A and B are shown apart, each in its own frame.
Chain A
């Protein structure tokens, strides 16, 4: 009988935590592989319009972003502004920005570069057209109108 009672005298054994670092490292690697660095802190509000015929942008390193939308800070007004990298910019600064981006890329990759326009859906086309004209002039012909994928469009 005493044979069976022996166990109950010992307290519950502590859970071994020696494999905890391994588990955390696995999680860490998962996130490192599946995510990409944030490109910029947004200073303008961008709610992308909806579309059904969207394509995924592969090769994130070859994409330059131009943000257009009303400023986040209310005191800056509600007119749409352009944001390049981390700061507000004017239309005439777009060329320099894209040329700099191009300069930084490998020569082989340059012709695959694509400019993604992240534009708020309430923006008027005037400013977008101006940016497109600038892009045309420096030969950045491939553009992407960033939009969210939906199953079907709702027209009101």
Chain B
């Protein structure tokens, strides 16, 4: 007669599982990293080389000094109005309209962009945002400015997307449509080579 195999006692299984559980609770985190994603420009190959010239009317200069004050187009600016200013600057305006008494809006070009498989002429601003900061600028202010710039571009993209496809940019599903919007309104933020501007 075959001997009966004694059953393995599973009573401590719960304890073992508990130990594993607590180990994982302690060593892991649940938070997802979020942030503002940016693409850095490639380094200048030749330091003597002049950067490509951009017409002055196409540039919006934003300076942040070491005490976190803003200078927007040579006038004192404020972070709470920056978004509207950038939107106004980058939006498409008819030729001849003036931004201030002396300064016209940036140039507008017609670009052929493929929308849903068919080429379409879309007006595209030649404007560039130039951002300069001091070594003494606080990171919080820098991020606040970057955030406002991103928000301005985002709102412009939303507007165009609403016009072309009837829905917001973030709600677009097709990659091609996203590409088209990105082509029409590229994130043109240029960060100057680091220099010390005024007072550390």
User: In the bound complex, what is the Cα–Cα distance between A86 and B20 (angstroms)?
Assistant: 25
Asked if A21 and B13 sit within 8 Å, CB to CB, the answer is: yes
A28–B20 touching, CB < 8 Å: yes
List residues of A (100-156) whose CB comes within 8 Å of B's CBs: 114, 116, 119-126, 128-129, 132-133, 135-137, 139-149, 153, 155
- Binary flags per residue of B6-31, CB closer than 8 Å to A gives 1, else 0: 00001101101110110011011110
Whether the pair B40, A135 counts as a contact (CB closer than 8 A) is: yes
CA distance A55 to B151 in the complex (A): 12
A35 and B25 CA atoms in complex are apart in Å by: 9
Cβ distance B164 to chain A, nearest Cβ, rounded Å:
22
Query: Is A54 close to B, CB under 8 A?
Result: yes
Contact B24 A145 (CB under 8 A): no
Q: Is A73 an interface residue (CB 8 A)?
A: no
* Beta-carbon nearest neighbor of A27 in chain B: B21
Interface size on A, residues (CB 8 A): 57
**B-facing mask of A4-29, CB < 8 A → 1, else 0?**
00000000000001101100110110
Among A20, A133, A148, max chain B CB count under 10 A is at: A20
- Complex: how many Å from CA A139 to CA B39? 11
Contact A116-B25, Cβ < 8 Å, known A122-B138, A136-B42, A143-B40? no
B106-114, B118-126, B129-137 - interface stretch: B129-137
B4 within 8 A of A: no
**A135's closest neighbor in chain B, by CB?**
B40
Q: How far is the CA of A28 from the CA of B32 in the complex (A)?
A: 20
Q: Which residues of A contact B25 (CB under 8 A)?
A: 31
Q: Is the CB of B36 within 8 A of A125?
A: no
Q: Which residues of B approach A to under 8 Å, CB–CB?
A: 10-11, 13-14, 16-18, 20-21, 24-25, 27-30, 32-43, 79-80, 133-140, 142-144, 146-148, 150-151, 154, 194
Additional A-B contact list (6), CB under 8 Å, known A28-B24, A57-B34, A129-B133 = A54-B35, A56-B32, A56-B33, A141-B42, A142-B37, A155-B79
Seen from chain A, the residues whose Cβ lies within 8 Å of a Cβ on chain B are 17-18, 20-21, 24-25, 27-28, 31-32, 34-38, 48-57, 60, 63, 114, 116, 119-126, 128-129, 132-133, 135-137, 139-149, 153, 155
